[in-house]
Amino acid sequence: MRFATRAFLWSFLPFTGLLAGSFWAVRTAALSAVKEGLRSAERNNQATLAKVRERSELKNIRILRVVVENPALKAGLQLLAAEHQTPDAARRTVEDQLSEICDTMGFDFLAVSTPSGDPLAGVIRQKAGFAPVKLASLRLPARGFFSMQDRIFSVTSVAIAQGQENVGTLAVGEQFDLAEDVTMPAVLLRGESVIAASAPNVDSSRIEAALRKCAPQAECEVQMAGETYLSVPLDSSQNEEFALRSLRSLDAAAAPVQAALRDIFLSAGLTALLGAFAIAAFSSKSIVKPLAAVVARLRESGKTGVLPEFPSGRKGVREIRELTDSFNHAATAIQEGRDQLVRAYVEFVSSLASALDARDPYTAGHSLRVSEYACAIARAMGVPAEELEIIRVGALLHDIGKIGISDAVLQKPGKLTADEESLIQQHPVIGRKILECVQGFDAYLQVVELHHENWGGGGYPRGLTGEETPRSARIVKVADAYDAMTSDRPYRRGMQHEEAVRILEKCAGTQLDPAAVQAFLALGNIAKPQAREEDPILDALHHLSAAVRTEAVQETPV
């Protein structure tokens, strides 16, 4: 993955994650607030419904207190209690009185029982009037709900007193309709079974299974069909047989809030994401572009070997400016170290060349001249700068192996014997062995070892032919031959330029590279003093070599 892409993603993705996290947090907080508000509303509804039911019960109790003072009803109850042999006739009399009271008061159910709760008589509203109830199946609570003939009734009861004596209980019931009497989604349970439910789109079996987890008279949250429901007890009568509970979907209640939040965050989030995208793109560009320029320059530096210098300024990212300034300081320090290394390297090379030339006054300056001639030939042949440097230094060191040759052989004024000639021919190999031990001199080994190979073969030490010998060594061979012919020796005087040129032309194609010879001839009389556009290092080498040579001559005993 590209650095620009990574920088963009590291800028954009955290903001996206933060935005998504903010949406989740706000949504969670809003839903929590909605749910808490819904719980509070359910509790208020519970309290309101309790007050309504309490007012209704108080109203019924006031009415019943009036009813129980009915002398006919009391007389009927006394008669029913006294008629142990023929209770049916007395019961019918009480049932007629109860039917009349129900019709007058608008009750749906009315029953009397003994002080211990055993039913004595009761009537229930039917379509055609009132009908007596079967006492065997009648189990009346003091208050709350009870079921009869597949109908649910809400009961209120009051004691019937005769003087100081409690002679029975009168219970009035109103038919209970969950949808009409409770203004919220609710469910009426009998034990663990659902009797009635006004919660939409919820199966009774699921309600029963979910509400089993709720403790009586305690609010709870249940899961049904993937939705969360809040259930609050609505009946405070403590009737163990029946339970009335609300059943409100929290998710449905929170759906409008969720939709509003979704719309808000969709528009605001998209706007924020577009802004974040633009900011991330600009930020990554402002960081990546200067860094890419730094990397490109460093890669170019790796190819050329030249340390880059980055422009300094006050624009751009501060850290990147500090980075480029640090690179510039490091490059300056490295360049200074390189310059010191080059100076030490030049001094070492010149010392080696001067040490060789100082052994023989007649060959003094030979290595430096060969280096100058070879560089001139190489430039005429269009040699690249890297190879030109190899030729320059290699020519300075080409005879370094003669350090290992005896002065008696090197400075012998007469003709050398075959053994002496064979010994002389070892100096290229000796020179290679000397330089192999010096780190960084690998590039010059071929010039030192192969500058006596012949173009047509028969040279030494390997007997290479043609282009088997590197071009650098072939160029140095031409320069070495010319300087050897034009320099004075103990046994002869140096040739004139013209005579040396004729010999070079004669040897071109046999001992010497024809192309190198032609390039040398194009230079003219190179031995004449002329203004040379040489490297300052060559001038330093020349002066250093001359100083070493002069010192060596002065120390030679007379």
Rounded mean pLDDT, 314-326: 67
Spatial distance between the Cα atoms of 304 and 199, rounded to a whole number of angstroms? 83
Q: What local confidence, expressed as pLDDT, does residue 99 receive?
A: 85
Residue 527: inside a domain, yes or no?
Answer: yes
C-alpha torsion angle, residues 528, 533, 538, 542 (rounded to 10): 40
Q: What local confidence, expressed as pLDDT, does residue 215 receive?
A: 82
Residue 37: inside a domain, yes or no?
Answer: no
Is residue 27 classed exposed, middle or buried when 0-12, 13-18 and 19+ CB atoms within 10 A define those classes? middle
pLDDT tens track for 483-510: 989 987 766 788 999 999 999 999 999 9
Mean pLDDT of the chain: 77
Tokens for 244, please give them.
């009335």
User: pLDDT band at residue 536, thresholds of 50, 70 and 90?
Assistant: very low
User: pLDDT band at residue 339, thresholds of 50, 70 and 90?
Assistant: confident
Instruction: Tell me the sheet residues that pair with 145.
Output: 154
Greater model confidence, 275 or 480 = 480
Q: Of the candidates 176, 202, 231, which is a domain's last residue?
A: 176
Alpha helices, H only, 196-245: 204-211
Residue 7: inside a domain, yes or no?
Answer: no
Greater model confidence, 402 or 357 = 402
Residue 141 has pLDDT above 50, yes or no: yes
* 544: nearest Cα among 357, 342, 361: 357
Q: Of the candidates 176, 198, 229, which is a domain's last residue?
A: 176
Greater model confidence, 122 or 277 = 122
Greatest Cα pair distance, the chain, in angstroms, is 177
Q: What local confidence, expressed as pLDDT, does residue 15 receive?
A: 63
pLDDT tens track for 432-490: 998 887 777 888 999 999 999 999 999 999 999 999 999 999 999 999 999 989 987 76
Which one of 73-77, 198-202, 372-376, 528-532 scores highest in mean pLDDT? Answer: 372-376
189 Cβ neighbours under 8 A, 6+ residues apart: 195, 208, 211, 242, 243, 244, 245
Residue 298 has pLDDT above 90, yes or no: no
Spatial distance between the Cα atoms of 314 and 282, rounded to a whole number of angstroms? 19
CATH number for 526: 1.10.3210.10
307 Cβ neighbours under 8 A, 6+ residues apart: 301, 331, 334, 335
Q: What local confidence, expressed as pLDDT, does residue 287 receive?
A: 64
Residue 22: inside a domain, yes or no?
Answer: no
Q: What local confidence, expressed as pLDDT, does residue 546 receive?
A: 45
Residue 8: inside a domain, yes or no?
Answer: no
User: pLDDT band at residue 173, thresholds of 50, 70 and 90?
Assistant: confident
User: pLDDT band at residue 128, thresholds of 50, 70 and 90?
Assistant: confident
Task: Sheet containing 242-246: give its strands across.
Answer: 193-197, 186-190, 242-246
| CB-based contact 452:459 (threshold 8 Å) | yes
Q: Identify the weakest region by mean pLDDT among 245-249, 259-263, 372-376, 413-417.
A: 259-263
Residue 176 has pLDDT above 70, yes or no: yes
Residue 10: inside a domain, yes or no?
Answer: no
Q: Identify the weakest region by mean pLDDT among 9-18, 365-374, 393-402.
A: 9-18
Q: What local confidence, expressed as pLDDT, does residue 378 receive?
A: 95
Spatial distance between the Cα atoms of 248 and 39, rounded to a whole number of angstroms? 9
User: pLDDT band at residue 61, thresholds of 50, 70 and 90?
Assistant: confident
What proportion of the chain, given as a percentage, has pLDDT over 70? Answer: 74
pLDDT tens track for 471-482: 999 999 999 999
Spatial distance between the Cα atoms of 506 and 320, rounded to a whole number of angstroms? 65
Q: Of the candidates 176, 205, 220, which is a domain's last residue?
A: 176
* 272: nearest Cα among 24, 16, 17: 16
Greater model confidence, 530 or 197 = 197
What proportion of the chain, given as a percentage, has pLDDT over 90? Answer: 17
Task: Sheet containing 220-224: give its strands across.
Answer: 220-224, 227-231, 248-249
| SS3 (DSSP) at 138 | coil
Residue 74 has pLDDT above 80, yes or no: no
Q: In the Cβ-directed half-sphere of 50, how many Cα atoms lie within 13 Å? A: 15
Phi and psi (nearest 5°) for 112? Answer: -120, 150
Q: What local confidence, expressed as pLDDT, does residue 305 receive?
A: 62
User: pLDDT band at residue 512, thresholds of 50, 70 and 90?
Assistant: very high
Q: How far is CA 45 from the centre of its chain?
A: 51
User: Which secondary structure element, helix H or strand E, spans residue 147, and what is its range?
Assistant: strand 143-148
Residue 553 has pLDDT above 60, yes or no: no
Greater model confidence, 372 or 412 = 372
CATH number for 91: 3.30.450.20
Q: What local confidence, expressed as pLDDT, does residue 479 receive?
A: 94
Q: Write the CA distances from 262 to 30, 34, 265, 270, 489, integer angstroms.
A: 12, 15, 5, 11, 103
Rounded mean pLDDT, 351-364: 64
Range of the domain at 432: 339-555
Angle, helices 385-396/471-486, rounded to nearest 10 degrees: 40
Total of domains in the chain? 2
* 383: nearest Cα among 471, 303, 470, 464: 471
Residue 321: inside a domain, yes or no?
Answer: no
Residue 445: inside a domain, yes or no?
Answer: yes
Greater model confidence, 275 or 86 = 275
Rounded mean pLDDT, 73-79: 71
pLDDT tens track for 400-441: 888 888 878 877 777 888 888 888 899 999 989 988 877 778
Q: What local confidence, expressed as pLDDT, does residue 280 receive?
A: 64
User: pLDDT band at residue 190, thresholds of 50, 70 and 90?
Assistant: confident
Q: What local confidence, expressed as pLDDT, does residue 499 receive?
A: 92
Q: Identify the weakest region by mean pLDDT among 11-15, 184-188, 376-380, 437-441.
A: 11-15
| SS3 (DSSP) at 131 | strand
User: pLDDT band at residue 135, thresholds of 50, 70 and 90?
Assistant: confident
The Cβ of residue 397 has, within 10 Å, a number of other Cβ atoms equal to: 24
